[in-house]
Amino acid sequence: MIEHGTGLFTIGELARSTGLTVRTIRYWSDEGVLHPVTRSTGGYRLYDAESVARLELIRTLRELGLGLEDVRKVVSGEKDVASVAAAHVAALDAQIRSLKVTRAVLSTVARRGSTAEEMTLMNKLARLSAAERRRILEEFVDEMFHGLDTADPVIRERMRSMAVDLPDEPTPEQVDAWVELAEMLQDPQFRAHMRKVAEFNAAGRGPETPVGASMWFARRLVQLAAEAREQGIAPGSPEAERILGDLLGDADPAAVLERLRSTTNDKVARYRELLATVKGQGPEVARREEFGWVVAALEAKAGS
């Protein structure tokens, strides 16, 4: 009831006018969020009309998810609503990103039919920070090129700068790809194989070889092989031998074949596909078919 002759409200009256429970209002008052104006002769807490407006503000802030400490600071004037709201938005964004990763992981687990152990590993790898993901990649590249000063620096820097971070809204396929990629980058056998790939690159470059020649060769290979496949040219045909001549120039076909075999096996092709999937480009960007066509053409030439 309204305290007689004072225009003040008891907790019960506040509860009836706002629809909140007496217990909730009492708790907020106990926590120092809603201060009583005074107390009755019987010791009951009393509130004025301004307290009613303050109570509505408190309820709104709580419904928006703000903690009692932030609510107390807003109500007391220690912080303005805008700055608290901005901080809360940032916190919510972090929670949303985490929930999206959780959803993607669970979707992948459901699709894979994963065991509890696989799910634990998947969750751990998916939640690695961007810095931790970067560290895994840098350690992989450092081991791959350590001591190989003649390796094409463009290839080295391209691999080091390659983004391997999950997007803010990863699909189950991207989470799945990142988990597989992280496992692959830390696999000793795969690292040893990629070391051999780097050694091939270093051995094939002389002092006159221009920087970036490896990238130029790869782009030219993809272009010529894609055109050959579109035209239906078989790897063992005379037309394929002519295309190889355009691609290789004076290079030794046997040496090129050996190098390409090291970079086009299933593991390396899968590595490129996983990188493309994590970046949202699709596995076709890895150009497995184009590299495979050139290898088949070189093998046919070697056997002729």
pLDDT 10s digits, 256-278:
888 888 777 778 888 888 888 88
Is the pLDDT reported for residue 102 higher than 80? Answer: no
Q: Which two tokens stand for residue 42?
A: 């019987």
Q: Which two tokens stand for residue 171?
A: 């699909």
Query: Residue 285's pLDDT band (boundaries 50, 70, 90)?
Result: low
Return the pLDDT at 129: 65
Q: Which amino acid is at 180?
A: E
Query: Residue 128's pLDDT band (boundaries 50, 70, 90)?
Result: low
Check: CB of residue 197 under 8 Å from CB of residue 261: no
Return the pLDDT at 40: 85
Is the pLDDT reported for residue 303 higher than 90? Answer: no
Q: Which whole number is the average pLDDT over 115-138? A: 71
Is the pLDDT reported for residue 25 higher than 50? Answer: yes
Query: Residue 233's pLDDT band (boundaries 50, 70, 90)?
Result: very high
Is the pLDDT reported for residue 157 higher than 90? Answer: no
Distance, CA of 52 to CA of 34 (rounded, Å): 10
Return the pLDDT at 127: 65
Give me the phi and psi of 252, to 5 degrees please: -75, 115
Return the pLDDT at 1: 43
Return the pLDDT at 235: 92
Distance, CA of 5 to CA of 155 (rounded, Å): 85
Name the range with the highest mean pLDDT among 37-46, 156-165, 237-246.
Answer: 237-246
Check: CB of residue 165 under 8 Å from CB of residue 133: yes
Q: Which helix (H) or strand (E) holds 303?
A: helix 288-303
Query: Residue 144's pLDDT band (boundaries 50, 70, 90)?
Result: confident
Question: What is the tens place of the pLDDT at every residue in 167-189?
Answer: 767 777 787 788 788 888 888 88
- The β-bridge partners of 2 are 9
Distance, CA of 72 to CA of 76 (rounded, Å): 6
Q: Which whole number is the average pLDDT over 10-22? A: 88
Is the pLDDT reported for residue 65 higher than 90? Answer: no
Exposed, middle or buried, 176 (CB in 10 Å: 0-12/13-18/19+)? buried
Q: Which two tokens stand for residue 94?
A: 């972090």
Is the pLDDT reported for residue 201 higher than 80? Answer: no
Q: What percent of the chain has pLDDT over 70?
A: 86
Is the pLDDT reported for residue 2 higher than 50? Answer: no
Is the pLDDT reported for residue 232 higher than 90? Answer: yes
Query: Residue 121's pLDDT band (boundaries 50, 70, 90)?
Result: low
